[in-house]
Structure 1
Amino acid sequence: MFKSTAKNNVVQKSAAQKETFEVTTFSESGNSIKTHAGIVIKPDFSLDNAPEFDILIVPGGPLRAVNKVLKNRKIIEYIVMSKNIEMICSVCSGSLILAEAGLLNGKTATTHHLALSILKNKWPRIQVENNKKVVKDGNIITSGGVSSGINMALYLVEKLFNNEIAKRTAKVIEFDSYTDGDTMEK
């Protein structure tokens, strides 16, 4: 899980004065975790000592790994307890985790194309959108596959700062496909 802080007064400052993101990670225990690709992540926090943040980003991954998280009540409860923060986001099949936590009920959401039918069939109270890279419904933002996560990150920059900064960021990282049409807002 990734969390990002932004000061509550960030929306009151001009774009040039706004603070950037402080990105931290956490795992259930706080111990290092190894991804399916073999990358070791050393979290900053555990679920027990993670401070409250403004933005929670729930990553996805291979379905067998996501299925383990779906069965982990401690993680699901943590996400439920975070439901009122400024933004809760998912990348790829991370939307399945938000669905299991009940946060997508009655909302429109998207996910990786290989998980669309799972999202639609297992959680019928969710309106599944399969033609947008990013979907925002309330304080929940879901994105499709991994590259759609970049679109989501740029969308966050646009909403927290402005469109000019989002487009400049896209140019700096040479991400040419960021457009306003990639996102559905409900």
Structure 2
Amino acid sequence: MCWVVILYFNSKQSPRSRVMNGYFRNWLSLLTIIRKQVIILFLAVPLFAFGQSAKPNVAILVYDGVQVIDHAIPFEVFGQFSLNNVYLVSQDSLPVTTYMGMKVVPNYSFTNAPTPDVLVLPGGDAGEAQNNEEVKRWINLMVEESDHILTVCTGIFFLTDNDILSRKQVTTWYDRQEELQRITPDAEVVTDRVVVESGKLVSSAGLGIDGSLRVLARLHGEAWAEVVRLNMEHESIPQQHHIPRAKLADLKLPSGIYAAFPWREAELKSYKGDRHQWTMDWAFNSQKSLDSLIAGFKNSLYSERGWTFVSDTTTTDEWKSNWTIEDNSDSYWKGIIRLQKHSEKIDLNMSVKAQQVN
């Protein structure tokens, strides 16, 4: 109906009016075209700018046996506020089974993964992956391509065949620091820091959260790293006040002792100490005689590296034994073990204490 009215109205116009209306419509068409071009340009500029400032790529290697926390924490840190393009990479992009049984689906395989700005190598039960020639080739290539490399826990063992560790300070999980030093003799394995920065390599001894924050600060500045830390409610301990796991005195406790009693069914009553001393208390049930228990504990301690028997005393229901513990430094340690038998209830107390601290 509206079009009929418009056509009727136009038919009643004079030739001069129709010419003027034509000019008017042409100008409107030109303005419409200009307006469209401006809108397109307005939208395109931000998109162009975004393309010029692409997010850094953070590639996290995953494999069968990878430790959950070693790959998940870096993913969380780098993924905060969408500052980076974070993704998981495996050899073939098929689901992998982590050390504790979690199933993880990688984003990419070695063949189609974007080239990373940051390469993250997490630890775990990685023996098979570290001996895989295809994994080695991909890592060696990515080491060359990446601006930053972050190793978490034992993930640094992926690099032991690579020259990047040569003449650098590095660290790893406390229980494998001696092994790392042995197989990389021209590197310096640091035992008193949880994060060690050596050029493009950042190695972390444990979970990787502080190491990830250090790399994040390299990418986006200290302010962003602090925002992410606070958002995750992570309390960063100043280096001068932090005691690395490798320096705590409980590592002087004998590991073989657990073969002498049913510790999985026992009650752990206390476990505490610091750099210079540590105590632990257990309670467990046993129908064995005190003499039989003593024999088992002595055998386990005799086979413990560095432990030397000094003296012991025994009563009808208690045994106390004194030992010295060798140290690689000038310090020496004293170890005491006590067993108290109350019918079938056994109390076990063990302590170690530094006698001379440099």
Question: Which amino acid in the other structure matches residue 49 of structure 1?
Answer: N
Match of 1:79 in 2: 139
Match of 2:314 in 1: none
Structure 2 residue aligned with 1:98, among 142, 159, 183?
A: 159
Match of 1:161 in 2: 220
8 A Cα contact 1:32 1:41, kept in partner: yes
**Residue 115 of structure 2 is aligned to residue 56 of structure 1:** no
Question: Which amino acid in the other structure matches residue 156 of structure 2?
Answer: S
Mean Cα displacement is larger for which, 173-182 or 79-88?
173-182
Task: Give the 3-state SS of the residue equivalent to 2:126 in structure 1.
Answer: helix
8 A Cα contact 1:80 1:103, kept in partner: no
Q: Is there any run of 5+ residues in structure 2 with no aligned partner, and where? A: 1-54, 58-80, 243-358
Question: How much has 1:172 moved relative to structure 2?
Answer: 1.3
8 A Cα contact 2:150 2:212, kept in partner: no
- When the two chains are superposed, the root-mean-square deviation of aligned CA atoms in Å is 2.0
8 A Cα contact 1:104 1:126, kept in partner: yes
Match of 1:150 in 2: 209
Structure 1 residue aligned with 2:183, among 116, 119, 122?
A: 122
8 A Cα contact 2:117 2:147, kept in partner: yes
**Residue 112 of structure 2 is aligned to residue 27 of structure 1:** no
Task: Give the 3-state SS of the residue equivalent to 2:111 in structure 1.
Answer: coil
Q: Which has the higher contact order (CA 8 A, sep 6+)?
A: 1
- What TM-score does the superposition give when structure 2 sets the normalisation length? 0.43
Task: Give the 3-state SS of the residue equivalent to 2:115 in structure 1.
Answer: coil
Question: Which amino acid in the other structure matches residue 172 of structure 1?
Answer: N
How many residue pairs align between the two structures? 163
Could you tell me the percent identity over the aligned residues? 25
8 A Cα contact 1:106 1:127, kept in partner: yes
Equivalent residues in 2 for 1:131-142 (5 A)? 131-142=192-203
- What TM-score does the superposition give when structure 1 sets the normalisation length? 0.80
Match of 1:171 in 2: 230
Q: Which structure 1 residue ranges, 4+ long, deviate > 3 Å from structure 2?
A: 178-182
Distance in 1 (alpha carbons) for counterparts of 2:185 and 2:202: 18
